[in-house]
Amino acid sequence: MKMAYSPLIAIAFGLPFLVQGTIQQTALVGGLDHGTAFSDLSVVSASESSAILSSITLRGGSRVDGISYTYAWNGIPAITHGGTGGTAHSLALGYGEDISTVKACANKYRPNVLTAYHTRIFYLSITTTLGYGVAVGTASGTCTTWTAPSGMGLIGFEGRDGDEIDAIAPIWGTPNAYF
């Protein structure tokens, strides 16, 4: 039995909440006071029947610079968040394969001695239902691991970005229900 409750209350307590019967968001991890907010929710909810990831690329060095992904259906454009620095590490997903686990670590970063510390995503890893994975950055600070709810897989992200990823949270959905 699915229960619906207020997204605002859920966010305040860091709880997951349902947007629709097939999409579930999670609480953001990382710096909430820097970068520009982004969300793939409007893209995936408008075309949830085709929000099946076909590939994902993580970019990073000592921190997570960017993330990009494509969908199996060409009606959804490729999505990119963050910058283009660091080294790119890509993973192509096979038929029926979903991203089932996302891990992110947030830590403090000080661009220079004249600025305040910023919280950024220092590490990001993903693992698929077949056990394949890709990771970038350095695992340090506070780490959070999200596991897809039963029957769901990763269909997008929300967070904050600039030249790097400041905050991130997975958006889960039922992508393979439409194969």
Whole-number Cα distances in Å, 174 to 45, 76, 82, 100: 11, 16, 26, 11
Q: Could you tell me which of 140, 144, 70, 133 has the C-alpha nearest to residue 100? A: 133
For 57, residues 6+ apart whose C-beta sits below 8 A from its C-beta are 67, 68, 69, 88, 89, 90, 91
Domain spans in the chain, listed from the N-terminal domain onward: 7-169
CB 39 within 8 A of CB 19: no
**pLDDT score, position 48:** 53
The domain made up of 7-169 has a fold known as Vitelline Membrane Outer Layer Protein I, subunit A (2.100.10)
pLDDT digits (tens, 9 = 90+) for 49-94: 557 899 999 999 999 999 999 988 766 788 999 999 999 999 999 9
Is the pLDDT at 15 greater than 70, yes or no? no
Would you place residue 8 in the very low, low, confident or very high pLDDT band (cuts 50, 70, 90)?
Answer: very low
Top-confidence residue, 99 or 15? 99
